[in-house]
Structure 1
Amino acid sequence: MPILDQFGNPISGKPPAQHPSAVVGLSRPYANYPSRGLTPEKLARIIYEADEGYLEQQAELFSEMEERDGVLSQIMQDRKLSAIGIEWRIEPADNSPQARRLAEALREWWDNSDRVSWMLDLQDALGQGVSLVGMAWRRDGGMWFPGQLEHIDPRLLIWDTQQKRFLIQAEGYPQGYAPTFGQAIEHRYKARSGSPTRAGLMRTNAWWYLFKHYAIKDWVVYAEVYGQPYRLGKYDPATSKEEMEALERAVRALGSDAAGIISKDTEIEIIEVAKATGGPEVYRGIYEIANREMTLATLGQTLTTGEGEHGTQALGREHRRTRLDLLEADVAALSSTLRRDLATPFAIFNAGTDSARLAPKIIGIVEEPEDLAQQAKTLDILQQMGYPISLRWVAEKFGLPEPAQDERILLRLGTPQMAPQEARSPLAALERELRPGMMSGQQFIFEMIGAATEAAAQGLSPVLARLLQEIEAAQSPQQLRERLIELFPDLDTRALRQLVEAGWLMAELAGMLAQREDSR
């Protein structure tokens, strides 16, 4: 029984005989420029045509939009490159020797391929809804590898509602032909449920693109009418035709040269045009709303591309997490596509049709950026509390190099200078024997509190025993109060008094020593 692909067609154990470019040109030589004279009616016709399965006009419009709109181009590139720039790993399907051999071979090809280029072509599916990259296979070292990967123009695609797949228009195939197994990588992006022809982000952005450029056109017209003053030339009824023509040339020249020569019998008057209330702000508002909506539809948030009027740091972090969700979804979709259309053909062409399960896994690693500043604050608090922290771990976490021999080191204000050999020891500050003047002030206080507590427990034991005896014998709070007042003059508090005096003295000496060490 033959092995079938995702479309129900038998899978061959041999690579396709030719690249899609041998059957069809990868791009049309001429463009229709559908964005020229774009209106709501024209946009609706283009979208309706795409819903019927013919993507030529829609695909060209989407490409033109990204080319002509700077904001749209930037946010689309941001979304595309986010998934490409992460770390990608090739892992074996299981622990069998054959699976590991296939993974190692594919990893070597992956590292040497022009990965950024053809993955960027695949990410074109974010806007278009689908993207195809044709493949040609070559024999090298007894194994088959993808040799040539080229983007197939999305204008050539036709959606076949019966087969539920995209076909490629070609000479002799006016209704399109289906690429064979291993002949193309077909990546789809699903922004919404329904037909794949409607799944791209540009379906949403197209309307805001239209409104935005309507506003720009009206804004330019407004600027032409109200953006500069009127210049009127006045002439006497007896002025000759030559003088009138000279006056007209002078008036027109004032718009750019701000200079001219006229007869003294003529006059030029500058009239300041009254500004229409709210005129430019209306167009500016539409322009900004369109940019914001396109950014929101593409990136899931707006704070990473512009200044939020009421943005906060917490809101910014939340929006970065939203963007991380989109990145994880993009990477998961790419991983699935690459394993199905790249790794699976690679395994079958090199190990037989029954080796699809051995297809290497292509995994993108998405890691949330660590907030090193917040971690540094946490470490500072833990250190002040006396928690032991490995300097080796801190150096690895923050990427800090170990100080060289006799190299000066950066110290916190109020911290005594350590010898270079002490600074180089990974656990020097925490594992060495503590001695006066060579520890931080806060740590010295913690050490002194511990010693003082132990000394107080020993020195006050007789006093506490006497007090507990009176508490047990008292019949009421009033009786206990009277008894304690009588007993207080006879209590021996010399040990407590000596302990307090010693504590003040130690604190004073420690401060003087630390100040002397800092002044060196």
Structure 2
Amino acid sequence: MVMASKPPALVLPDGRPLTRENLGVEIARPTRASVRTIQSGHPAQGLTPQRLAGLLRAAEDGDAVAYYELAEEMEEKDLHYLALLRTRKLAAAQLPMEVEAADSSEQAKGDAQFLKDWLDRDVLQAELFDILDAIGKGVSATEILWNLTSKTWLPKALKWRDPRWFEFDRETGDELLLRGGPEGVGPATPLPAGKFIVHFHPSKSGLPIRSGLARIAAWGYMFKNFAIKDWVTFLERYGHPIRIGKYGPNESEENKAILYRALWELGTDAAAAFPETMNVEFVDRKAGTAPNDLWKSHAEYIDLQLSKAVLGQTSTTDATAGGLGSGQADSHGRVADTIERHDGKVLASTLNRDFVPALIMLNRGPREKYPRIKIERPDAEDIKVTVETAEKLVSMGVKIDGEELRERAGLPAARSDETALKPASQSMPENLPVGASGGQGAPVDAPKAAKAFLGLLKAGNGASQSDIPALQSQEPEREADALSRTTDEALGDWEELIRPAVGSIESLIGECDTIGELQSRLVEVMADMDVSAFTEELARGLFAARVAGLAAPGQG
């Protein structure tokens, strides 16, 4: 009997094997009886420089629980820091996402389409936002919850997991381990293949635990918190008079306590009772001697530094005047674009490493190369210039894909031939003479037409028929009759006929400096125009046209 061999194990590109047992269960779910509890400490309460330094050193040594709790509280208590992180994470999570096939084969295109179909989900943006929690803390772990069926193995959710439930290995500080193992009560274990998207988002070079923005912002958060506490205390006591109680040398402790309690009641209730032998004095002066904007300027200064650390600029978060003039906004905009582009590329590289190979391998089989996710904003393009350039290249014989050009222009494809836009037909002016540009027939050759017209005039004056040039031999492309030859002949020497009439106008143009002066004096020269030659030639033309018309076949 031949035993059926097991199918070969699926191995990710990093060498870790995929196992069905690990994929089908939640490994890092919270439980109250393990280290994975939702209960959290609050190290930000009563934070001092000594406590903060010890907390950060403990994180470097491998115990980062308090550090992650502080990072969480900083986002909850500092509105400015929260707004900065949200702005940066939302900007990266909303970047356009494209899927690029591994090559041009049909198999690679099918893999890319399979990945693209799964990414088309309403919750994807929220899941990317959670993955980008690493911007603040330096690292994030997202568990892939697989929905295993007989046909497909698709993730039903990408679940954010609390970073307190993980730790880095003590040897290299680079590998993220699961605290307590799968059961939550043992030693830390490596993360199973295909189950977690581990995203490192360093703000500086070094160990991942020291590369998060929370570590950089922690000192500013603490000093800003000190300033705000002092500011609130100042505002609470501002304007209240100082109350001073006086008692005699032999006063009993009981009466001293009564006087002290009375002083407090005067500050809150404005009423108190104390022995007649005691004296209370009110000193009318402002509480404190510091300028009233001292703490405000302190807090605003730290906010500006946080804006630079998180977003690289201040123009989009703080309305402050800069020394770059109108170019400040452009300069800050370029910095923001640089950070956004970096965030998108780092996020895409994580998905291409921890998610894409597992999804394709489980559903379509192992591949030498897998499709790639690209998360970036396309470069701005002047589509008008692109279209004009394409039009010129096409006229030169260059072949250009019109469908790709339409997509680059951001225009929808036509649903049918009936709804498709078509080039507008060029309307032809009506009543154009034969041979005129845009009219029917061929354009007139003026010199040849002039010779033909002169021949007609000679024939009308008794000249022999042999003196009339044959227009057909000069324009073989169309058959000319007597009327058309007459018209062409009349157009031949129009410049010589009209020159005596416009000579006086040309002289007037030379004398005038402006159009207005020319218009006002034009009436002066109209009476002096010599149109005799033009009139005589017009009469001859009409006579010749009439003779030609009578001589045409069918005329009586």
Task: Please indicate, yes or no, whether the TM-score normalized by the shorter chain is above 0.5.
Answer: yes
| 1:302-348 C-alpha deviation (Å, 9 max, x unpaired) | 11111113364320121011011000000000111111111111111
* RMSD, aligned α-carbons: 4.5
Match of 1:142 in 2: 151
| 8 Å contact from structure 1 (residues 208, 294) kept in 2 | yes
Equivalent in the alignment of 1:167: 177
The answer to whether the 8 Å contact 1:49/1:55 transfers is yes
Cα distance in 1, alignment partners of residues 410 and 279 from structure 2: 75
* Equivalent in the alignment of 1:308: 320
Displacement after TM superposition at 1:256 (Å):
6.0
Structure 1 pair 258–168 and aligned structure 2 pair: CA distance change class (3 A) = same
Is it true that 1:9 corresponds to 2:16 in the alignment? yes
Letter in 1 for 2:162: D
- Alpha-carbon contact 2:101-2:108 (below 8 Å) kept: yes
**Bigger shift: 244-253 or 157-166?**
244-253
Provide the residue aligned with 1:299 in structure 2.
311
Is the CA contact (8 Å cut-off) linking 1:135 and 1:184 kept in structure 2?
yes
- Aligned with residue 90 of structure 1, among 76, 84, 99: 99
Change (3 A) 1:431 1:256: farther
Task: Name which of structure 1's ranges 184-193 and 157-166 shifts more when overlaid on structure 2.
Answer: 157-166
State the alpha-carbon separation in 2 of the partners of residues 215 and 296 from structure 1.
20
Structure 1 Cα separation of the partners of residues 222 and 270 of structure 2: 37
- Corresponding residue to 1:351 among 351, 364, 389: 364
| Cα distance, 1:123–1:172 mapped onto 2, change above 3 Å | closer
Structure 2 vs 1, CA of residues 161 and 248 (structure 1 numbering), >3 Å: closer, same or farther?
Answer: closer
Contact 1:20 1:135 in 2 (8 A): no
Match runs of 1:473-488 below 5 Å: none
* CA separation of 1:504 and 1:132: change in aligned 2, threshold 3 A: farther
Q: How do residues 108-507 of structure 1 correspond to structure 2 at under 5 angstroms?
A: 108-139=117-148, 142-162=151-171, 164-170=174-180, 171=183, 174-230=186-242, 271-274=283-286, 276-310=288-322, 312-353=325-366, 355=367, 357-358=369-370, 360-367=371-378, 493-497=507-511, 500-501=514-515, 505=519
Larger displacement relative to structure 2 (119-128 or 272-281): 272-281
1:20 aligns to what SS in structure 2?
coil
> C-alpha distance in 1, partners of 2:171/2:102?
33
Cα displacement string for residues 232-271 of structure 1 (whole angstroms, at most 9, x for unaligned residues): 7999xxxxxxxx9999999867756779999xxx999764
Report the alpha carbon displacement of residue 219 of structure 1 after superposing the two structures with TM: 2.2
Could you tell me which residue of structure 1 aligns to residue 527 of structure 2? none
* Amino acid in structure 2 at the alignment position of 1:322: V
Q: C-alpha displacement at 1:227, in angstroms?
A: 4.5
82-91 or 245-254, larger mean C-alpha shift: 245-254
Amino acid at match of 2:302: A
The answer on whether the counterparts of 2:512 and 2:518 sit within 8 Å (CA) in structure 1 is: no
Residue 351 to residue 398, structure 1, CA distance change in 2 (3 Å): closer
Q: Which amino acid aligns with 1:169?
A: R
The structure with the greater share of residues assigned to helix is 1
- Amino acid of the structure 1 residue aligned with 2:26: H
2:482 corresponds in structure 1 to none
Q: Aligned partners of 1:152, 1:67: CA distance in 2, in Å?
A: 18
Judge conservation of contact 1:250–1:260 (CA < 8 Å) in 2: yes
Contact in 2 for aligned 1:229/1:271 (Cα 8 Å): yes
- Tell me which structure has the larger Cα radius of gyration: 2
Q: Provide the secondary structure at the position in 1 that maps to 2:28.
A: helix
- 2:226 and 2:43 mapped to 1: Cα distance? 15
Amino acid corresponding to residue 193 of structure 2 in structure 1: F
Note if contact 1:130-1:186 (Cα within 8 Å) is conserved in structure 2: yes
SS at structure 1 position matched to 2:373: strand
Q: In 2, Cα distance between the equivalents of 1:60 and 1:290?
A: 21
SS of the residue 1:135 aligns to: strand
Cα distance change, pair 356–20 in 1 and its aligned pair in 2 (3 A)? farther
* 1:15 Cα deviation after fit: 7.0
1:270-314 C-alpha deviation (Å, 9 max, x unpaired)? 643245443443322321111111111001011111111336432
Shift in alpha-carbon separation, 1:369–1:74, aligned structure 2, 3 A: farther
Taking every aligned residue pair, what percent have the same amino acid on both sides? 29
- Larger relative contact order (Cα-Cα within 8 Å, sequence gap ≥ 6): 1
1:59 aligned to 2:68? yes
SS of match in other structure, 2:293: helix
Query: In 1, are the aligned partners of 2:240 and 2:287 still within 8 Å (CA)?
Result: no
Given the alignment of the two structures, is residue 79 of structure 1 paired with residue 119 of structure 2, yes or no? no
Q: Secondary structure at the match of 2:187?
A: strand
Task: Give the letter for the 1:323 counterpart.
Answer: A
Q: 1:172 to 1:319 in 2, by over 3 A?
A: closer
Conservation of the 8 A alpha-carbon contact between 1:253 and 1:260 = yes
Residues 24-66 of structure 1: per-residue CA shift (max 9 Å, x gap): 7795232221111211111111111111122211111101111
Partner of 2:458 in structure 1?
Answer: none
Aligned to 2:53: 44
Contact 1:27 1:152 in 2 (8 A): no
Letter in 2 for 1:497: E
Q: Decide whether aligned partners of structure 1 residues 284 and 110 sit closer, same or farther in structure 2, where only a CA change above 3 A counts.
A: same
> Contact conserved, 1:347 with 1:356, CA < 8 A, in 2?
no
Change in Cα spacing, 1:349 to 1:34, as seen in structure 2 (3 Å) is same
Q: Distance in 1 between matches of 2:239 and 2:382?
A: 48
> How far apart, CA to CA, are the structure 1 residues paired with 2:232 and 2:41?
26
Of the structure 1 ranges 124-133 and 272-281, higher mean CA displacement relative to structure 2 is found in 272-281
Q: CA shift at 1:231, angstroms? A: 5.5
Instruction: Count matched residues.
Output: 396
Secondary structure of the structure 1 residue equivalent to 2:104: coil
Q: Which amino acid aligns with 2:106?
A: P
SS of match in other structure, 1:142: coil
Distance 1:71-1:342 versus aligned 2 partners, 3 A rule: same
Following the alignment from structure 1 to structure 2, what is the Cα–Cα distance between the partners of residues 369 and 295?
Answer: 26
| Cα distance in 2, alignment partners of residues 126 and 502 from structure 1 | 72
Q: How far has the Cα of 1:165 moved from its partner?
A: 0.6
1:150-193 per-position Cα deviation (integer Å, ceiling 9, x unaligned): 11111111111436310011345543111111101011111111
Aligned counterparts of 1:427 and 1:246: Cα–Cα separation in 2 = 99
Q: SS state of the match for residue 23, structure 2?
A: coil
